[in-house]
Amino acid sequence: MHRRKFLKNLLALPVIGGGMMFRSPLTLGLNSALADTGQLPTLVVIFMRGGNDGLNTVVPHGEDRYYQLRPNIAIARPGSGPGEALDLDGFFGFHPALAPLRPFYQRNELAIMPAVHYPDAIRSHFEIQRLLEGGAVNRQASGWLNRYLLANPRVASLRGAAVGDRMTFALQGKITVPVVKSSNNAFWGASEYKQRLPQLMRDVYSPAAPRANLHPLYKAAIQGLDTVDLLQGQNPENYTPENNAQYPDTAFGRNLKRLAQIIKAGMGLEVATVDSGSWDTHASQGNAEGYHAQKLAEYAQGVAAFYSDLQGYRQNLLVLTMTDFGRTARENGSKGTDHGNAATWMALGGSVNGGIHGDWPGLEDDQLYLGRYLAHTIDFRDVLGEVLNRHLMVPDPAEILAGHDFQPVGFL
């Protein structure tokens, strides 16, 4: 076997993705003990890729201008009948599809930030996602979560994971992090491959054949395959959620279910990402019903199930939801919305200071950014800084956020 092909096959292990964090029986036992006593903070970042329409997610029903700008797609005021917004504080209300999340808001465990972005922002999906996940307003070589792992070394079986089909940029960098799929179907037979590995190593590194087992790649591969074995031993098909949690039978729901299983396994997971795609609603967006409502329902059902399933972990669990950008304040001619500016972000967790956070910029023409877009009043780097400082206990988040000295938002 050629060396290049061997490396390609090894790195193609679906659970490994771009690399792997390793374990030992000792650290696994330590991580399990820490998890049982609730000492490990865990951050889950959900990215709504495509740009979620925040104005129809957390509805400013107390502002008349909202209904003037969106005659076809606005969510009706609370108390107006079918399809009405679910009131939160007398001014804002949830889209009715977010009903599963309302109890968490009422218990002050859900913080809503309806105007998050950064100055002079761009409106390209690919560029903005790279910046947001890089934790800076200029391109970074690595993601903010990977830089957190690098700056705060800790022995653990699995400190970080991208749960789904791809590695998110937030977790890319010098620390190797696995991509973990929602099922075991795509896994290679790790045990069988491990038995063949010594001979494969000798074939590839024939000049060092007598010492093949000492080669760094061999050691790394064995450690990586050990972790594959560990994850395979937790078959998602045999997992039963707790507290009657009902995950949606979608890729998003299955990924959250898989993540809940991993957190409960006590492998020392600190940071994880889960994607939710297709939020780009340029046409036929709908209002209380329609495409956007279906996306919000899937999101709310998934997050509510995940949070209910992990009821015993809530005090040290934080679920941060972010998106590319918001949408235009005014609906377009196709009864949809185009790429915008400020977006709605949410944070859910047992230590969250619930409620609405950040000033509301308003929707009048002279209040809109460039006359079209919701202005931002919270810098996204301040959100990330607060997460790093108050949840992940990083003393100086500026080292991770490209020098940005964060200003607390107050949701933690």
Q: Is residue 56 part of a domain?
A: yes
pLDDT at 187: 43
Q: Across the chain, what does the average pLDDT equal?
A: 86
Mind giving me the DSSP string for 149-195? HHHS----S-SEEEESSS--GGG-SSS---EE-SSSTT---HHHHHH
Residues facing residue 378 across a β-bridge: 116
Residues 47/129, Cβ–Cβ less than 8 Å: yes
Burial track 271-302 (b if 16+ CB lie within 10 A, e otherwise) = bbbbbbeebbbbeebbbbeeebbebbbbbbbb
Task: Pick the range with the lowest mean pLDDT from 221-235, 256-270, 364-378.
Answer: 221-235
In this model, does residue 136 exceed pLDDT 70?
yes
Q: Which tens digit of pLDDT belongs to each residue from 265-278?
A: 988 999 999 999 99
Element (H, E) at 323: strand 317-323
Q: Which tops the pLDDT comparison, 236 or 331? A: 331
State the Cα–Cα distance between residues 396 and 406, nearest whole angstrom. 9
Total domains present in the chain: 1
Q: Is residue 198 part of a domain?
A: no
Question: Span 31-38, mean pLDDT?
Answer: 50
Q: Which tens digit of pLDDT belongs to each residue from 279-316?
A: 999 999 999 999 999 999 999 999 999 999 999 999 99
Q: Which tens digit of pLDDT belongs to each residue from 145-170?
A: 999 999 999 888 789 999 999 999 99
Structural tokens at position 161: 């994971």
Q: Is residue 171 part of a domain?
A: yes
pLDDT at 23: 40
| Percent residues over pLDDT 90 in the chain | 72
Q: Helices H, strands E: what count in the chain?
A: 11, 12
Task: Pick the range with the lowest mean pLDDT from 34-38, 117-121, 244-248, 344-348.
Answer: 34-38
pLDDT band at 14 (very low <50, low <70, confident <90, very high): very low
Q: Is residue 276 part of a domain?
A: yes
Q: Is residue 103 part of a domain?
A: yes
Q: Is residue 127 part of a domain?
A: yes
In this model, does residue 391 exceed pLDDT 70?
yes
Q: Is residue 84 part of a domain?
A: yes
Question: Span 383-396, mean pLDDT?
Answer: 98
Question: Span 51-73, mean pLDDT?
Answer: 98
Task: Pick the range with the lowest mean pLDDT from 29-43, 124-138, 305-319, 340-354.
Answer: 29-43
Q: Which tops the pLDDT comparison, 237 or 346? A: 346
Q: Which tens digit of pLDDT belongs to each residue from 202-255?
A: 565 555 555 555 555 555 555 555 656 666 666 777 899 999 999 999 999 999
Question: Span 52-72, mean pLDDT?
Answer: 98
Return the CATH number at 119: 3.40.720.10
Q: Is residue 271 part of a domain?
A: yes
- Full domain range(s) for residue 272: 40-182+247-399
pLDDT at 25: 42
Q: Which tops the pLDDT comparison, 341 or 228? A: 341
Confidence (pTM): 0.86
State the Cα–Cα distance between residues 198 and 222, nearest whole angstrom. 10
Question: Span 70-96, mean pLDDT?
Answer: 97
